[in-house]
Amino acid sequence: MDSIDTSVLKIMGMVEETQYKVLKNINAELIQLYWNVGKYLFEESSNSDWGDSFIDETASRLKERYPDLKGYDRRNLYRMRQFYEVYHKSEFVSTVMTQLSWTNHMLILSGTRSMEEKEFYIRLSLHEKYSARELKRQIDSSYYERSQISGQTITTKNKELPFLNNYVLEFLNLPKEYSEKDLKSAIVQNLKGFILEIGKDFSFVSEEFRIQVGDSEYYIDLLFYHRGLNCLVAFELKIGKFQPDFLGKMNFYLEALDRECKKTKENPAIGIILCTSKEEEVVEYAMSRNLSPAMISEYSIQLIDKKVLQKKLKELKKMLSESDQMFFLPIAGPSKKQ
């Protein structure tokens, strides 16, 4: 590469960086504009004798006086008011709202119920830098409910990463009957979707990753690297219910990865066993004396009914609330002698 080519690449890099900053700034200004318009409409429609018809009449006159103005019809004005009305008491949202696109904001507003769920998807979108299509998929697959129900985490050198109890792999389009080989091939062919489900910090390393111990060769189904945890992550794919011997095999793989593949500054490898089902008691027994950082999760090749997950989450919150109340029950003092 000569000096001219180098100059061209450097100039294009500066152009692209500036274009990104300009687009980002435009988005921030638009979101702030929609927020201000929403605030005005919320306050005026609340104080006006017109009520909601105040917005209807405003939209009508805007169209009449400015026929070429796009994006300020009745529907969008109501969206702007809703945007402000829902979030104006949330200090977190008002701080980060301009970092998210308007499309993503609308997906979250229309696809979620509680403020807790809304803030969850806002944080997730910012962390994972979701496109609108990616965010919609996560909402449709009940990612919020699954993450709240899960509670599985792995901690490595003060970094904690949540793992799900149930992964949804509906994008694989597998038939009703399939083999472990079919599952693995489908994941490799749909890596973008799989990484979206497990987290964008994962980078794919290899399928059928070969490790040699003594004179024997072994193959890990899928090997990834996690940038946040700075370690290798081995996935083993199983058709059927979790069996305790799966964990022994995974521990063997993790030990081999740490001895043969781990670099000096990297953390110990993590293992994730994906099964179609698991019995919690069997998992508890299997994990009770296990020292390796391994997780056992279920996977589904079809979207899970959101209502079922919402019911489970509601029951879990109720149970936690009741346990907290029991913990803080007042302790009766010594009875007074008559």
- Domain of 216, CATH number, reads 3.40.1350.10
325 domain residue, yes or no: no
pLDDT of residue 325: 56
Instruction: Tell me the sheet residues that pair with 296.
Output: 273
Judged against a pLDDT cut of 70, whether residue 146 lies above it is answered with yes
338 domain residue, yes or no: no
- The three-class DSSP label of residue 292 is coil
Write down which residue in 93, 117, 140 finishes a domain: 140
Q: Are residues 130 and 201 in the same domain?
A: no
Q: Are residues 19 and 97 in the same domain?
A: yes
Q: Are residues 153 and 134 in the same domain?
A: no
Residue with tokens 């994941």: 187
What's the whole-number average pLDDT of the chain?
88
Q: Are residues 122 and 161 in the same domain?
A: no
Judged against a pLDDT cut of 90, whether residue 14 lies above it is answered with no
Q: Are residues 194 and 134 in the same domain?
A: no
Q: Are residues 174 and 264 in the same domain?
A: yes
According to DSSP, residue 226 is labeled E
The answer to whether the CB of 258 falls within 8 A of the CB of 268 is: yes
200 domain residue, yes or no: yes
pTM of this structure: 0.81
If one counts every other C-beta atom within 10 angstroms of the C-beta of residue 63, the result is 14
Residue 211: pLDDT band by 50, 70, 90 thresholds? Answer: very high
Instruction: At 335, give phi and psi (nearest 5°).
Output: -70, 145
What is the domain extent for residue 113? 3-140
How many domains are contained in the chain? 2
Q: In angstroms, rounded to a whole number, what is the distance separating the alpha carbons of residues 318 and 193?
A: 33
Q: Are residues 108 and 173 in the same domain?
A: no
Q: In angstroms, rounded to a whole number, what is the distance separating the alpha carbons of residues 74 and 63?
A: 10
Rounded to 5°, angle at Cα 210 from 231 and 178: 95
Judged against a pLDDT cut of 60, whether residue 7 lies above it is answered with yes
Q: In angstroms, rounded to a whole number, what is the distance separating the alpha carbons of residues 94 and 44?
A: 20
Total residue count of the chain as it appears in this document: 338
29-43 as b/e: b if 16+ CB within 10 A: eebeebbebbbebbe
What tokens does 336 get?
Answer: 């007074």
pLDDT of residue 335: 47
Q: Are residues 292 and 182 in the same domain?
A: yes
> pLDDT digits over 158-172, tens only?
566 668 889 999 999
